């Protein structure tokens, strides 16, 4: 599944080819510039909020912390479902051809 926000930098020929070459790929197209409809934006905001009050002096330490926060989210499916629910969009389960 691909949630595509149609940001102008994502409209490359290579991206269109990638999608066309994968018949199994389900693409959900969002309106251009619609961060409130993209669950990834909610994940990003959640991770940024968890890092807001940390004083980190090394870039590799920030990377480790972000990876840690994302790994933790993998074990919180209710939180991840909440990010999707926050968009007020419904996702229909695609049927097999």
Reported as a single tens digit per residue, the pLDDT across 7-32 is 666 667 888 888 889 999 888 777 76
**Under a CB-based contact definition with an 8 Å cutoff, are residues 54 and 65 in contact?**
yes
- Does this model's pTM top 0.75? no
| Confidence (pLDDT) at 3 | 76
Q: Is the pLDDT of residue 33 over 80?
A: no
Bridge partners (DSSP) of residue 86 are: none
Domain residue spans in the chain?
Answer: 1-31, 34-92
- Kindly indicate the confidence band of residue 97, based on its pLDDT and cuts at 50, 70 and 90: very low
| Confidence (pLDDT) at 46 | 87
**Under a CB-based contact definition with an 8 Å cutoff, are residues 24 and 1 in contact?**
no
Top-ranked range on mean pLDDT: pick from 27-31, 44-48, 50-54: 44-48
């Amino acid at each position: 599944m691909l949630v595509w926000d149609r940001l102008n930098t994502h409209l490359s020929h290579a991206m269109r080819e990638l999608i066309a070459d994968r018949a199994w790929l389900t693409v959900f197209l969002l309106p251009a510039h619609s961060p409130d409809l993209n669950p990834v934006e909610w994940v990003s905001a959640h991770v940024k909020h968890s890092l807001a009050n940390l004083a980190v002096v090394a870039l590799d330490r920030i990377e480790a912390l972000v990876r840690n926060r994302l790994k933790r989210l993998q074990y919180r499916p209710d939180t991840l479902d909440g990010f999707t629910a926050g968009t007020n969009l419904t996702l229909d389960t695609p049927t097999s051809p």
